[in-house]
Amino acid sequence: MTLVPEEPLIDPEVIKDLEEQVQELRYRNPMDIHNLIDYPTERKVAYVSTQEEIVQDLSTNPMSEDEVEADDSQESILVKATEALQCASLLQQFWM
């Protein structure tokens, strides 16, 4: 398990200001601002892959033929230049 490096992500002045605002609201049991902003269990990462491992995983798992055929299911529509210009002209008139 790897821990994410501890770096202050938020300015201490911002945290102080937030704490003051929470105190003004007078909650009976307010949540700790530090815990709310930087939840401790989010710092734990089970495994961090290296770039080489990611590239290797992607290169060893090529797409199956079914996935490739599924990508060909949508045919592109051919639009003539004159039709495109007519549509652009209509849009220009509409926006003016």
Q: What is the mean pLDDT of residues 54-73?
A: 67
Q: What mean pLDDT, rounded, does the chain reach?
A: 77
3-state secondary structure the chain: CEECCCCCCCCHHHHHHHHHHHHHHCCCCCCCHHHHHCCHHHHEECCCCCHHHHHHHHHHCCCCHHHHHHHCCCCCCCCCHHHHHHHHHHHHHHHC
The residue extents of the domains of the chain are: 1-61
Evaluate if residue 32 carries a pLDDT over 60: yes
Percent of the chain with pLDDT over 70: 74
